[in-house]
């Protein structure tokens, strides 16, 4: 039986990104949006997560940003 990987089956794309991502504290020269609070991150240090999705075909590199406070709160909760 083939089971779809949608939200009804407990597959959480956001949690999957966190499992694959490598997080580093970087300086945001260009304006970015925090993935948690949607605040603008600009000219300050913030955490950048880079996740690589591989499979048949080309690999996809996904980048997300989080403010220092939001990232620390997320790490404490999970």
- Mean pLDDT for 55-68 is 92
pLDDT 10s digits, 7-48: 455 556 667 788 889 999 999 999 999 999 999 999 999 999
Decide if 46 contacts 14 (C-beta within 8 A).
no
Is 70 exceeded by the pLDDT of residue 53?
A: yes
pLDDT the model gives residue 46: 98
Is 50 exceeded by the pLDDT of residue 1?
A: no
**What does the domain layout of the chain look like in residue ranges?**
34-78
Q: How far apart are CA 8 and CA 4, in angstroms?
A: 9
Nearest to 37 by CA among 78, 67, 77, 76: 67
Structure pTM? 0.78
Q: What element of type H or E holds 13?
A: helix 13-20
């Amino acid at each position: 039986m083939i089971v779809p990987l949608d939200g009804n089956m407990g597959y959480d794309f956001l949690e999957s990104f966190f499992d694959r991502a490598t997080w580093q504290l970087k300086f945001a020269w260009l304006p970015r949006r925090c993935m948690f609070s949607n605040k603008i991150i600009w000219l300050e240090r913030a955490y950048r997560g880079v996740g690589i999705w591989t499979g048949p075909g080309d690999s996809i590199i996904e980048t997300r940003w989080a403010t220092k406070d939001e990232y620390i709160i997320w790490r404490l909760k999970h």
